[in-house]
Chain A
């Protein structure tokens, strides 16, 4: 067992209105960044999880997403393992 570092990205479903993203989009435009085509805001959960292996950690985190961390009506999720070098993979 060792702590495996995970990043869990909770992303708003494409096509659903994302009011926060829309507000940021407008603000960026008003600052002159006219090339911004779309902005959507989600959230990232940083987690250290004790697990036998990366595969086991991913499986557990996926169950957490389905049960609680993400709302299947409005959100998708993506889980990545953060390697020793610090890069998410």
Chain B
């Protein structure tokens, strides 16, 4: 069901078994598909449909984050304009998105997602380049694992 490629380290599988993740790096998706701002909206639409994404990070050639485009952004555009095929990603995306780093504690990442009413946080490395993505789905999966490990501990 998860269409993103994802490396699993030995540490991660241990933590997964105990249900104890700590930081964004433990839960995020690493090999993430991105778009350039010049891609047409139609390409974003088919990428989302093929890969079951709801968010795509938009980057410039150096890898710096420019924005995020979500399926809601696209649906809103489809509902409003008849000539949506002429638009490109840069016209629809949310610019200057909220981001996190790999070391960001998970509780802070969840707090950001809930308080800002967003569902996607691009993950930046120390040079400000996109190195992954963290979505509310990733966080919900982590919570589910934690719940199951708490249940089995309580017996």
Indicate, yes or no, whether A interacts with B. Answer: no
On B, residues with C-beta under 8 Å from A are none
